[in-house]
Amino acid sequence: MPRGSYIPFTAQQEQIIKDQFLAKPVKQLARQVGSTGGRIMRFLKKNNLDIPQALIEQRKRDSYKKKGDVPFNKGKKQIEYMSSQAIARTKITRFKKGNAPHNTNPEGNGAIVLRKDNSGRIYKYIRIKKNEWHLYHRVLWERNHGKIPDNHVIFFKDGDSLNTTIDNLSLITMKENMLRNSKHNYPQEIIPSMVLISQINSKLKKIQNG
């Protein structure tokens, strides 16, 4: 129908609406007479035909999906409940194998996110490639100083795990890290000395091993 044109209901359509507006939901009635729900409602209002509020509420409740309802297409093939034209239209929007969501970060683009570990502490993670995320402070250290040796960790000097500037990072052994985190097991004033002793022992061991 051209924009702005108006085709009134036929006498037969009007009679159907008047006879059945209380028996059928507006959308169903609109489909029956080949019109829209809005036109049906305007016709009813113009002719002082009111749908009781109780009936409106009941129709709303009837339209809700109920527990135990079986989908109309359960166990059916697509060709059994859709036309060939409708099936062809769905092909345009189907998800294809290998496609990534539109908001997927490009592979290796260095996206950074925040994640919480089991202790509740928050760390930065960087995306190395698709489905592969590494702790950002470790990646940053290795980019500047080379591979992190076994049994070593990266320590945040100021205690802030989100302060990932290279100057705030320090390479320490796991034992030193354990001692630093043992403030509840030892007097606070001796912790620095214990860490220093551990560092000296580690250095001596390296010298002895050549």
User: Does residue 2 lie within any of the structural domains?
Assistant: no
Residue 127 and residue 60 share a domain: no
Q: Are residues 204 and 119 in the same domain?
A: yes
Give the pLDDT of residue 202: 67
Same domain, 119 and 189: yes
Q: Provide the 10 A C-beta neighbour count for residue 61.
A: 8
CA dist 133 and 123 (Å) reads 12
Distance from C-alpha of 163 to C-alpha of 105, rounded to nearest angstrom? 24
User: Tokens representing 106?
Assistant: 């490009």
Q: Does residue 90 contact residue 79 with C-beta atoms inside 8 Å?
A: no
| Confidence at residue 47, expressed as pLDDT on a 0 to 100 scale | 93
Examine residue 199 and state whether it is found in any structural domain, yes or no.
yes
Query: What per-residue confidence (pLDDT) applies to 165?
Result: 92
Whether 45 is covered by a domain: the verdict is: yes
User: Do 126 and 134 touch, CB atoms closer than 8 A?
Assistant: yes
In terms of domains, do 121 and 203 share one? yes
Q: Could you tell me if residue 192 is inside a domain?
A: yes
Check residue 44 and give its pLDDT: 93
pLDDT score at 90: 79
Exposed, middle or buried, 164 (CB in 10 Å: 0-12/13-18/19+)?
buried
pLDDT at 163: 93
Q: Measure the CA–CA gap between 68 and 83, rounded to whole angstroms.
A: 27
Whole-number Å distance between alpha carbons of 19 and 2: 30
Segment-wise mean pLDDT, segments of 10 residues, the chain, 210 residues:
68 92 90 89 92 88 79 82 79 70 59 86 88 90 91 88 92 78 57 65 71
Instruction: Decide if 32 is inside a domain.
Output: yes
Q: Of 65, 82, 99, which one is at a domain's C-terminal end? A: 65
Q: Region of 110 please: left (phi>0), alpha (psi -120 to 50) or beta.
A: left
92 located within any domain: no
**How far is residue 86 from each of residues 42, 83, 124, 166, measured CA to CA in Å?**
31, 5, 47, 58
pLDDT score at 76: 85
CATH number at residue 193: 3.90.75
Q: Give the domain range for residue 15.
A: 7-65
Total structural domains in the chain? 2
Q: State the pTM of this model.
A: 0.41
Residue 95 lies in a domain: no
Q: Does 16 reside within a domain? A: yes
User: Coil, strand or helix: which one is 208?
Assistant: helix
Q: At 76, which amino acid appears?
A: K
Residues 117 and 181 in one domain: yes
